[in-house]
Chains A and B, each alone.
Chain A
C-alpha cells in the first residue's frame, strides 16, 4: 500500500474507533454518570441537596454546571470543590460564562491520534532499522 493512503485510512479508522467508543460504546455515558454522581454525593454531604450539578451537554464537555440556591461564599466554594472531582476540567454556575473547553469527544480524538502517531513512529523506526541493515550488509 502507498504511504499516504495507508496513513490516511489508519487515521480515519482511529477517529471512527474513538467516536464509536465514545457514544455507542457508552464511555461518555459512564463518565457522565460517575462524575455527576460523585458531585451529587459531595453536595449532599455538604447538605446542599437543592443545588444541581450537571456536566455541560451539547456538546459534552468536562465543564460542571451548578444550578440552585447558594450564597456568595457557597457559590465560590462549590466551584472550587467541583474542580476537585476527578475528570472535571472547569466549573461554572448556570447562566454564567464558562472558560472555553474542547468537547470531550475532541479531546478523546486528539488522544487517540497521538497514540496512532506513536504506533506509526514505532513502525517507522523498525522500517528504518531494517533498511539500514540491508544497506550495510546486503
Chain B
C-alpha cells in the first residue's frame, strides 16, 4: 500500500488542496 504513494503522492496533495478550498467555501460564515 505504501508503494502506491510513490506514484500517486502529487494527486493526493491536490486532493488535500481541493479539500481545503471546498471546506473553506462550504463552512464560510454566511453573509448577511
Which A residues are closer than 8 A to B by beta carbons?
A: 1-4, 6-7, 9-11, 13-14, 17-18, 21-22, 25, 27, 30-31, 62, 86-87, 89, 104, 107-108, 111-113, 115-124, 126-128, 130-131, 134
- In this complex, how many residues of chain B approach chain A with their Cβ under 8 Å: the count is 25
Listed A/B pairs (30) with beta-carbon separation below 8 Å = A3-B27, A6-B22, A10-B26, A17-B18, A18-B11, A21-B14, A25-B11, A107-B1, A108-B4, A108-B8, A111-B15, A113-B15, A115-B13, A116-B15, A116-B18, A116-B22, A118-B16, A118-B19, A119-B15, A119-B20, A119-B22, A120-B19, A120-B20, A122-B23, A123-B19, A124-B23, A124-B27, A127-B24, A130-B29, A131-B29
